[in-house]
Homo-oligomer: A and B are copies of this chain.
Amino acid sequence: MSAPPEPGPAESALLRAYRGQPVPHTPVWFMRQAGRSLPEYRRVRAGIPMLEACRRPELVCEITLQPVRRHGVDAAILFSDIMVPLAAAGVDLEIVPGTGPVVAEPIRAAADLARLRPLAAADVSFIDKAVRLLLPELGGTPLIGFAGAPFTLASYLVEGAPSRTYATTKALMYGHPALWHDLCERLAQITLEFLRVQVSAGASAVQLFDSWAGALSEADYRRYVLPHSASVLSGLADLGVPRVHFGVGTAELLAAMAQAGADVIGVDWRTPLSAAAARTGGTRPVQGNLDPTTLFAPWQVIEAEVKRVLADGAAAPGHVFNLGHGVLPETDPDVLRRVVDLVHATRPR
């Protein structure tokens, strides 16, 4: 007597929720679930620079699997860094611990664009390898592809380092719109290729992170950013995988981000899921919203917040439980496991 075959990722709770279909339980994963909150991550990363780690398929596979093993989440998300495709496209940069991405020569003029060549699949063959290593390990657990959106990537390339005001980026955007659009078109090509490699290798969904788009007004977002995010998202349409689009502080941008071509709306902790669903037409599944700092609260506070998010998410045509931003490094992994169990134990409405 042989066991029935395990259902594939396409039948998973995550994919069903992303498609707005009924689910046996609310699926849950955490942005940055693979990372510094896990001691096993810190162990395997010890002494290995971030970009180097992202280029080693075996290590990417191991790190991507760690939170699936430990937390029992409903999805893996490919461990990578948003700067990986830019480094692969020729940009001289490094990820400085405690600071973030630092670009050796920021892009500020037309001549600088030459440093950004088109990305070919062969430039990121390590990604293809990592995904192919992951699939048999993951079995029925879906893998989400990962990439940064053109605005967020451009902000690092133009500022040269993380910024609080994006003043240099916006000055270039306002003052040199042709250069800005040229830059973002190149970034859209790179991002699209990076995601297509992941999906072609077997990722079942993608999440496009425009982490810092919330720094823009809706008018600026629509004029300077939306066309480029739309070009990435529409460029994935033929692959037939759900496309999640997420940013922080996007209260005023959600409708525009949905119009960019998102199938699923990622929401930070400021905008309730029911409001996000309503503002984006009431037709799209939603994901996110638990404030990552809630995980430092006593369990009874966490429990109440998890239940609030679950109840509120039921207003949308589909709900994937997640945080409103990435797991903070100081988070206790046991708390994440407890949240997963609570989400799974709560009957979806």
Contacts and interface: CB of A to CB of B under 8 A. Distances in A.
B165 A293 contact: yes
Interface in A198-231: 214, 216-220
Give the size category of A's interface with B.
20 to 34
Stoichiometry (number of copies): 2
Nearest to A251: B251
A165 B174 CA distance: 29
Contact of A328 (B165, B270, B271, B308): B165
A301 B175 contact: yes
Given A214-B270, A217-B270, A249-B249, 11 more contacts: A167-B292, A167-B296, A170-B291, A170-B293, A170-B297, A175-B296, A214-B249, A217-B269, A218-B272, A252-B271, A252-B275
Nearest to A167: B293
A285 to B, nearest CB: 21
Contacts of A252: 251, 270-271, 275
A293 B171 contact: yes
Contacts of A220: 291
Most buried by B among A170, A270, A301: A270
A240 interface: no
A294 interface: yes
